Amino acid sequence: MHFNQPLRLRSGAELPAYTLVYETYGSLNARRSNAVLVCHALNASHHVAGTHAGKPHSEGWWDNLVGPGKPLDTNRFFVIGINNLGSCFGSTGPMHINPATGRVWGADFPVVTVEDWVDAQARLVERLGITQLAAVIGGSLGGMQALAWSIRYPQRLRHCIAVASAPNLSAQNIAFNEVARRAITTDPDFHGGHFYDHGAVPRRGLRVARMIGHITYLSDDSMEAKFGRELRSTALAYDTQSVDFQIESYLRYQGDKFSEYFDANTYLLITRALDYFDPARDHGGDLSRAFAVARDLAFTVISFTTDWRFSPARSREIVKALVDNHIRVDYAEIDAPHGHDAFLLEDARYHALLRARFARLARTLDSEG
């Protein structure tokens, strides 16, 4: 969907025109009341569910949750996935042409924030003729978008579902992002973010960035259970650069795979959006005041016990701010071993909870006719 109306960004910059790539699943009902927006995190996209015909391994990133008969049942809901601005899966981003210069944006693509994404999403939703979403749901950075929706457009959604999320990044979270960014920007193939012009890709930096990220997505315990100190061979290689341990092999593979498809400037933009997200900041550091506008919404907040990236304590900060405002909120701390990645996995209790939540929402919509 193309937009010619300029988008004013939080930085003060303006994106003159842009395109958002999106997918929808299920059918919008006559009252246009059954739409659910699914927001994506760092390396995902608008392709939330289903497969692309003829393409193996093309399952959407939340295909275990979204589909006919699934917890977010597309027989009942009209589900929308939108690729965010600055991403590298089709929506306007750093690898596209800057109309002002006729050259690829590269590092000059304006810094976009969670709020900017939500503004762009809101326009698309409006264009689809939807005045109020039944729900906005997201995990991790997607959860931050759901929260931003509730603060920015409280009239335009009924239910906000934030999974494995946080009200802002901790110093440690920012630290990991910064190391990943430094790995990318100091890669000689980065060329100050204009590597496209040089026919180069900063793959070394992307690999290291992904390896760091990946460690933070998994719990210590799940890594131990999955890999432990297992060797690839029967004996140690006694070499500093060889791959002795299975965990090394796994991380290298993840890094290699990521560097083949992900854009370096997008990585910088999205980690910056994560760093900058901080709704309390606009209210003197008071998160409760930030949510004061969201009094008519209902929230579901979910965290996972072994998530050390966005720990349950961070979700409880959100819950506290909602309770301070007497806002309806269900909070579940799921005892799952998988760390941050748990939000993408098919944990029985987690999915049962979302299934019940969406079924209840569907019944409410039905009762309204």
Q: Catalytic positions, please?
A: 140, 307, 340
- Smallest separation (angstroms) from its own copies to the CB of 150: 21
Q: Taking the C-alpha atoms of 322, 326, 330 and 336 in order, what is their torsion angle to the nearest 10 degrees?
A: 40
Residue of 358, 287, 361 whose CA lies nearest to 327: 287
- 268 contributes a contact to its own copies by CB under 8 A: yes
Taking the least distance from each CB to its own copies, the nearer of 68 and 192 is 192
- 178 contributes a contact to its own copies by CB under 8 A: yes
**Which window, 74-82, 107-115, 134-142, 316-324, contacts its own copies (CB under 8 A)?**
107-115
Taking the least distance from each CB to its own copies, the nearer of 208 and 353 is 208
Copy the structure tokens of residue 83.
């690729």
Q: Which of 24, 50, 200, 278 binds its own copies (CB under 8 A)?
A: 278
* Sequence-distant (≥ 6) Cβ neighbours of residue 309 within 8 angstroms: 140, 164, 173, 216, 217, 339, 340
Q: CB of 38 within 8 A of CB of 81?
A: yes
**Which window, 21-29, 65-73, 121-129, 265-273, contacts its own copies (CB under 8 A)?**
265-273
- 182 contributes a contact to its own copies by CB under 8 A: yes
- 6 contributes a contact to its own copies by CB under 8 A: no
- 156 contributes a contact to its own copies by CB under 8 A: no
Residue of 229, 186, 228 whose CA lies nearest to 206: 186
Give CA–CA dist 329/299, Å, rounded.
5
- 357 contributes a contact to its own copies by CB under 8 A: no
CA 337 to chain CA centroid, Å, is: 21
Taking the least distance from each CB to its own copies, the nearer of 75 and 242 is 242
CA 89 to chain CA centroid, Å, is: 13
- 187 contributes a contact to its own copies by CB under 8 A: yes
Q: Which of 21, 128, 215, 365 binds its own copies (CB under 8 A)?
A: 215
Residue of 340, 351, 183 whose CA lies nearest to 267: 183
Give CA–CA dist 83/143, Å, rounded.
15
- 179 contributes a contact to its own copies by CB under 8 A: yes
Binding-residue total with its own copies (CB under 8 A): 60
- Smallest separation (angstroms) from its own copies to the CB of 248: 5
- 81 contributes a contact to its own copies by CB under 8 A: no
- Smallest separation (angstroms) from its own copies to the CB of 151: 18
Q: Taking the C-alpha atoms of 315, 171, 208 and 342 in order, what is their torsion angle to the nearest 10 degrees?
A: -10
Taking the least distance from each CB to its own copies, the nearer of 34 and 91 is 91
Q: CB of 38 within 8 A of CB of 83?
A: no
- Per-residue binding string, its own copies, 225-264, x by CB under 8 A, is -xxxx------x-xxxx--xx-xx--xx--x---------
- Smallest separation (angstroms) from its own copies to the CB of 219: 9
Phi-psi group of 97: left, alpha or beta (phi > 0 → left; psi -120 to 50 → alpha; rest → beta): beta
- 174 contributes a contact to its own copies by CB under 8 A: yes
Q: CB of 333 within 8 A of CB of 305?
A: yes
- 301 contributes a contact to its own copies by CB under 8 A: no
Query: What is the torsional sign of CA 185, 191, 192, 195?
Result: negative
Q: Which of 265, 303, 306, 315 binds its own copies (CB under 8 A)?
A: 265
Give CA–CA dist 337/225, Å, rounded.
10
Contact footprint for its own copies (CB under 8 A): 10-13, 107, 110-111, 168-172, 174-176, 178-179, 181-183, 185-188, 193, 204, 207-208, 211-212, 215, 218, 220, 223-224, 226-229, 236, 238-241, 244-245, 247-248, 251-252, 255, 265, 268-269, 271-272, 275-276, 278, 308
